[in-house]
Amino acid sequence: MLAAGCAANKPAQVPRPVPAAERPDEAMGKEVRYRIQTQCPGDAMNIKIIISDGVVTLQGVASSQSVAWRAQAAAQSVSGVKAVRSELLVRR
């Protein structure tokens, strides 16, 4: 016998995971920044990240082509990112 008002009387509310396609740009931006900082620690502060509707644009200066590629790969690895545009300039 269950008492009235007991939590067992109604189904548990399980939070619905946010599909990657619905993930807010701000949340993706934080994760993109974190991943670029871990992949390109010396260059991360020189890279500006712009996200609009899941499309990431990277702007700024990278110390090498390798760093630019790693930053682009780091951004692409984030769930919900639809595309990455690299406008990074490589310092020679």
Q: Following DSSP, what letter does each residue of 22-60 receive, concatenated?
A: G--HHHHHHHHHHHHHHH-TTTGGGEEEEEETTEEEEEE
CA distance 37 to 71: 9
- Chain-centroid distance, C-alpha 22: 12
| Position 12 pLDDT exceeds 80 | no
* Nearest-5° Cα angle at 75, 74 to 79: 105
Average pLDDT over residues 64-80: 96
Q: What is the pLDDT of residues 28-50, one digit of tens each?
A: 999 999 999 999 999 999 999 99
* Nearest-5° Cα angle at 79, 35 to 65: 45
How would residue 52 be classed by pLDDT, with cut points 50, 70 and 90? very high
CATH number for 23-90: choose from 3.30.70.920, 3.10.20.30, 3.30.1340.30, 3.90.1330.10.
Answer: 3.30.1340.30
- Residue spans of the domains in the chain: they are 23-90
- Per-residue confidence (pLDDT) for residue 16, from 0 to 100: 56
